[in-house]
Structure 1
Amino acid sequence: MLHGLAAATTALVLTATLAALLRALMLRFGRAGDATPHLGGVAVALATLGVACAGPVLGVAELGPGVAPLLAASGGIALVGLVGDVRPLGVRVRLVAQAAAAIAVVTLAGLTPGAGALAVLWIVFVTNAFQFLDHCDGVMGAVAAVTALGLAVCAIAGGHPGNGLLLSVLAAALTGFLLHNWHPARIHLGHCGALFTGFLLASSAVTVHAGEPGGRTTAELFALTVLVLTDTLLVLLSRRRAGRPALRGGGDHIAHRLRALGLTTQGSAVVLGLASLACTLIALQIHDGRLAPVAAVPLALVVPVAVVLFLRVPVYGPASRRRPPRARTPSGPAPHTASVDLAGGRG
């Protein structure tokens, strides 16, 4: 317990410090006109991996079987994302890298071929769903931190203390990053941090739930990720209806629509964070057996209703069908409204 608290505290402080240092370096040596750097994910990845590996190296904690390969695969995805932040990477390259890393994780988890194939597809989808979510100040960090904490509790309760420690460290690192990413954001996650976080969460979920009853696991994982799945579905349907490229960034996510309804940027992040917390609590109740897997059915019914309602909120300007508007608050710098989508575009 004490080691877990020390590790989490270290990850929080280290991420906040590294993010501030990276911001200063990018403002000094980065591209002209890039007022808000987008390599904050490097701080999250380095702090998470470094603190998680420090326990075994220092002899104060063991990560347990299966955690080291998970760290290696997540680190590889972070490197792919970092390359994408520095220079554009094609969709195919990133998807192949994610699939290869997911196959490695699933193989070591000992899943059957059928379940393993579904798990690989799910990991890749959730990885990119969390990347889609990195579009507005504070949203990605808040939702991912809550999800990581929920998965950490599931891991510890299921007898996976190493995974629980890793997820707790990730949650703390994201919290440290939020100190710089809360509106008005001074640094963004970028591809590196968004892909790393999404992949680590999805892969950890598969690892922790390997061998558990299929119905309960499906319901639990759906509840944990229902918010990011809803946001992704909303964006893809909205862009298809508007005749816009599906994989280009834009101001058409749930957070942008909440702001169009009158919420502030901070308020949108808080609402989505609380929604993620509510879904996470349901997932924990299912994991503990206090709720039957059928409890996830109402969430499944909420998804299409939410998508239909949010589709009615206008977010595309009449002047252009190709480039969504960059909303600004009445005062202060513009919030982060550009999605970091599969194609690497920033709308």
Structure 2
Amino acid sequence: MLYGIAAATAALLLAALLAALLRGPALRAGIVDRRMQRRLPLLGGLAVVAVTCFVAWVGEWTRIAPLGDGVGRLLIVAAVLAALGLVADVWRLRARVLVAGTAVAAFCVVPYDETGVPGGMLAVCWIVVASLAFKGLDHVDGLAGTVGVVTAFGAGACAAAEVLDGLAVLLSVFAAALTGFLMHNWHPARIGLGACGSLFTGFLLSSSLVLTRAGYGLGPSAAVVCCFGAVALADAVLVVLARWLARRPLLRRGPDHLAHRLRRLGLTPPGSVVLLGAGSFSTVLVGVLMHTGWTGERAVLWVAGGVLVTVAVLLRIPVQRPRETTSVQVSGQLRVRNG
């Protein structure tokens, strides 16, 4: 207990310090993203990954909080995937490379002896979808970190209920590191999570749920994991439907995510994050209650209904056109005028 508190405190402080130190090098190296007409350095995810791995390794090395074979392998694979995300932040890899890398990583962590081959394949699909959907949440200041912290605490509670102490400690350390990062990522953000941190977060959380639910029935497990990933999945469904109906490329970025549409309704950037964070807390709480047996599987129907209603309502909110399209139209108008 005391080690868990000390480890979480150390992770929070180290992540906050390292994120602040990495901001300057990221700006000088050009590892940035454009957000709200400003340059946002993207090495915040590296701080979260490095601190989580370091604190967890100290617990493993001292044998005070050993992770166990399955959890140790999960952390190593997640760190390798984070390295791929870091490469994507620096050199802008194609989306198919990230999908393939996430799929290979998922194949390496699923416990097939407990899930079976068919269940294992479904678990791989869930991890890939959840990881990429969580990456999509990193479209506004503070959102991915807030949802990640809430989900990590819920997943840690489920792991503790299954007496998976190593996994519970890892998730608590990760939640603390992500909280330290959020000190610099709240609006207006001074550093971003990037593909490195968002892929690591989504992969670690979704894989942890697979390990926690291994041995349970497929239907109840699907209900639990969908509750945990409700906000990320709602964002992904909303974006896919909006771009498909507008006949726009699915992989082209645009201001059509959950937080963007909430802002069109008049919410401030922090207000939209708080609202979505509260929604994540509600759905994660339902998932924890379902896992621990305090409520039945039918509770997932309320979550699914809330997601469908949210998507249906926000889909009708008009959004601004992507900046790339607007700039092309403007340049075309200038050429016509000059001609």
Q: TM-score, normalised by structure 1?
A: 0.89
- Contact 2:150/2:277 (8 A) holds in 1: yes
Partner SS state of residue 35, structure 1: strand
State the alpha-carbon separation in 1 of the partners of residues 92 and 257 from structure 2.
23
Partner SS state of residue 262, structure 1: coil
| Distance change >3 Å, CA 252–CA 153, structure 1 → 2 | same
| Distance change >3 Å, CA 323–CA 202, structure 1 → 2 | farther
CA-CA distance at 1:208 after TM superposition: 1.2
1:114 pairs with 115, 118, 128, which one?
118
| Distance change >3 Å, CA 221–CA 316, structure 1 → 2 | same
Letter in 2 for 1:10: A
* Structure 2 residue 19 is the aligned partner of structure 1 residue 16: no
Point out where structure 2 has 5 or more consecutive residues left out of the alignment. 328-339
Match for residue 176 of structure 1?
A: 180
Q: What do residues 2-48 of structure 1 show as CA deviations (whole Å, max 9, x unaligned)?
A: 11111111111111111000002223443699732011100011011
Q: What do residues 210-252 of structure 1 show as CA deviations (whole Å, max 9, x unaligned)?
A: 1123332221111111111011000111111122211122111
State the alpha-carbon separation in 1 of the partners of residues 311 and 113 from structure 2.
34
- Deviates most, 119-128 or 248-257: 248-257
State the alpha-carbon separation in 2 of the partners of residues 83 and 17 from structure 1.
23
State the alpha-carbon separation in 2 of the partners of residues 109 and 170 from structure 1.
27
* Structure 2 residue 28 is the aligned partner of structure 1 residue 25: no
Match for residue 227 of structure 2?
A: 223
State the alpha-carbon separation in 1 of the partners of residues 100 and 218 from structure 2.
27
- Contact 1:243/1:321 (8 A) holds in 2: no
CA-CA distance at 1:173 after TM superposition: 1.0
Letter in 2 for 1:6: A
Q: TM-score, normalised by structure 2?
A: 0.91
State the alpha-carbon separation in 2 of the partners of residues 228 and 207 from structure 1.
20
Letter in 2 for 1:209: R
State the alpha-carbon separation in 1 of the partners of residues 98 and 268 from structure 2.
33
Match for residue 333 of structure 2?
A: none
- Deviates most, 239-248 or 177-186: 239-248
- Contact 2:83/2:196 (8 A) holds in 1: yes
Superposed CA RMSD in Å reads 1.8
State the alpha-carbon separation in 1 of the partners of residues 164 and 295 from structure 2.
22
Match for residue 208 of structure 2?
A: 204
Match for residue 335 of structure 2?
A: none
| Distance change >3 Å, CA 109–CA 187, structure 1 → 2 | farther
Match for residue 285 of structure 1?
A: 289
State the alpha-carbon separation in 2 of the partners of residues 45 and 108 from structure 1.
26
| Distance change >3 Å, CA 269–CA 62, structure 1 → 2 | same
Letter in 1 for 2:182: L
Letter in 2 for 1:22: L
- Contact 1:64/1:161 (8 A) holds in 2: no
Percent of matched pairs sharing the same residue: 48
Point out where structure 1 has 5 or more consecutive residues left out of the alignment. 325-347
Question: Could you say which structure has the larger radius of gyration?
Answer: 2
Matches of residues 1-347 of structure 1 in structure 2 within 5 Å?
1-30=1-30, 35-107=39-111, 110-317=114-321, 322=325
Letter in 1 for 2:107: I
Structure with the higher helix share, 1 or 2:
2
Letter in 2 for 1:66: G
State the alpha-carbon separation in 1 of the partners of residues 258 and 186 from structure 2.
17
- Contact 1:11/1:47 (8 A) holds in 2: yes
